[in-house]
Amino acid sequence: MTDTVDWKAQPLEVRLAHKVKACRTCAWFWKGTPPYGPYPSYDWKSDFPPQANRSETQSATGSSPSPWLSARLAGDQFVDPGIMHGCRKAPIMTVGINPNMTAWFPYPSAAGWAYPAFKSDARYAYYYRHFTLYQESLSLDYVRRHLSSSERILAEDDGFVAAVTREPVHNYMVLTVQYRGRAQHNSYEIAWKPDARWVVVQDNGKADDERTWFKKGAPLAGRFDCPADGDAEIYENPSGYYQRMVEVLDRFKRKSGLEGANLTVGEDVAQHDMVACASPGWQSKYDMAKELIAHNCVQDHGWVVSQFVQSQPSVVILVGGSALSMFRSVFGPYMTLADSGSDIYELLDETCTRPTYVTIDIGKVKFRSRVLTPPHFSYLANFYAQSRLSKAAWAAFQQDFAADAKVLAEAHRVWEPNSDGTVPIELKGMDDPLRASISVEGWQVLSAYYMDPFDKLAGALADELKAGTLAFDAATGHLKRGDGPCRFCVNSLWTFPEGCAYGKPDVPPYGPGELESAVETILARARDAAAARKASSGPSSSIRPAGSAS
């Protein structure tokens, strides 16, 4: 079907699904020997399986996998780039860095991860329209049953896994086990070629807890090749990253008198990434061409710009410093948030307390989005209620309130310093039972530096509801959609079974090229701003793609 489609005649949101899915621009990901994958993949047995449209009440906690649907296996494949998760017109949009490649990690919990390999754009679009909190996997039992009979490691005796480490830039890991009665650990070095994949299928254990031990002859690790045909049960696994917004929505509802509403991630909150291709992380240890990848995806293709302009969210939540930096690289000229090197928690406090915006006013494309800047969602500890003291302030606290510092340390409330030296002190709210053991003066100091990230975000959303920027629609049971038309779910290429509950296909469309013109204006202004920065900073050794603007 796609060979005969006049894509120029399709709405921007529909073209994005096709173009992003097919994108293979970044040589680092897609040319030569791809660094990540191939990994187990599956396709649906029908275009729009009802199980894909989840309507459950979402939980901010819990991570146990559960059966989702039976799918057709598609062998080991490289993971397609991803588009935004959820309703295109959700009034709240979160923006992260890039999808997490969970299958890369050397743990049993990662052994069964499976990724969609949809043959059609319609299935791909439906999957991402209803993506909420989950990533998919095969069961660990299935993986164990399909390990290679010739390339695997079996336990020499009863014992437990002491450790497993993986080299971040090569297909190499070391599995360390302790066998019963042996003085020394056994270490197994495992290396594999790019077209293979080795997985560990035993969890780490403890010497003093034989419930965590394996038995002699049990499989410890092996080569796992996903079958290229046949059916298998696909499991859904709640992801902590996506669950952070569930807690924010729950608190927002309590603050706003909406406790009875089923506000959800996917319907009321859409989730985008600045970069469409997955990787294990976005740190230098993975030896990725991060700057070039971000440049290709964000500034050259402008995927996030196109989706942002089409979605026109009332609130955009930029998750962590790297996402904020990449977002600013294209929307900086339209933002009121100062370009500072502030601590991410200081930025969270600033953006939640004093509203700051992205304002787009280009031709007929006019909207404004409130900007919020929390720390990264991947780590729950980032969202614990805490007092954040600088290195100097913590040293002074230890000197002036030595007894209080000892109480905090013995209660394991003092965390390791962050990279900037800030010392987080975990507090369980202003009514923390530990307060009774802290001096009045010491508690006053801790209170002055107190931060509850979940509550900050929920409070800012409640402010927007009070101001009328966000609104609850009793007819749909969800927040009112963003402005403008949308034909993502109902168009000439596909019609999703549930259609659109918000009447967006009936909203008059923009004129030909109006959204696209706004996108190009934003990208052109970003290129000009980048060129000006480069000219003012002098020569740079940064790698840029041939023919692209700096």
Helix (H, G, I), strand (E, B) or coil at 42: strand
Positive or negative, the CA dihedral 92, 375, 78, 328 is positive
230, 43 contact by CB (below 8 A): no
Structure tokens at 76: 């080991």
| CA distance to 110, 174, 377, per residue, from 100 (Å) | 12, 23, 12
Q: Which residues pair with 232 in a beta bridge?
A: 71
Residues 71-86 pLDDT 10s:
999 999 999 999 999 9
Q: If 0-12 CB within 10 Å is exposed, 13-18 middle and 19+ buried, where does residue 433 land?
A: exposed
Tens-level pLDDT at each residue, the chain (550 residues): 556 888 888 999 999 999 999 999 999 999 988 889 999 999 999 999 999 998 888 999 988 899 999 999 999 999 999 999 999 999 999 999 999 999 999 999 999 999 999 999 999 999 999 999 999 999 999 999 999 999 999 999 999 999 999 999 899 999 999 999 999 999 999 999 988 999 999 999 999 999 999 999 999 999 999 999 999 999 999 999 999 999 999 999 999 999 999 999 999 999 999 999 999 999 888 889 999 999 999 999 999 999 999 999 999 999 999 999 999 999 999 999 987 667 889 899 999 999 999 999 999 999 999 999 999 999 888 899 999 898 899 999 999 999 999 999 999 999 988 777 889 999 988 899 999 999 999 999 999 999 999 999 999 999 999 999 999 999 999 999 988 999 999 999 999 999 999 999 999 999 999 999 999 999 999 999 888 888 887 665 444 333 333 2
* Cβ atoms within 10 Å, residue 16: 21
Q: What is the dihedral of CA 477, 480, 482, 485, to 10 degrees?
A: 70
Q: Show Cβ contacts of residue 277 under 8 Å, excluding neighbours closer than 6 positions.
A: 26, 29, 79, 81, 82, 98, 99, 293, 297
pTM score: 0.93
Q: Are strands 115-116 and 39-43 parallel, antiparallel or unpaired?
A: parallel
85, 308 contact by CB (below 8 A): no
Closest CA to 307 of 470, 465, 468, 125: 125
Helix (H, G, I), strand (E, B) or coil at 62: coil
Number of H helices, E strands in the chain: 15, 21
Residues 474-490 pLDDT 10s:
999 999 998 899 999 99
Q: Show Cβ contacts of residue 446 under 8 Å, excluding neighbours closer than 6 positions.
A: 387, 425, 427, 438
Cα–Cα distance, 405 to 399 (Å, whole number)? 9
Structure tokens at 243: 């669950």
Q: Which residues pair with 360 in a beta bridge?
A: 367
| 460 DSSP 8-state letter | H
What is the side-by-side order of every strand in the sheet holding 269-273? 269-273, 92-96, 315-318, 365-372, 357-362
What share of residues in the chain are helix, strand, coil (percent, to 5)? 35, 25, 40
268, 479 contact by CB (below 8 A): yes
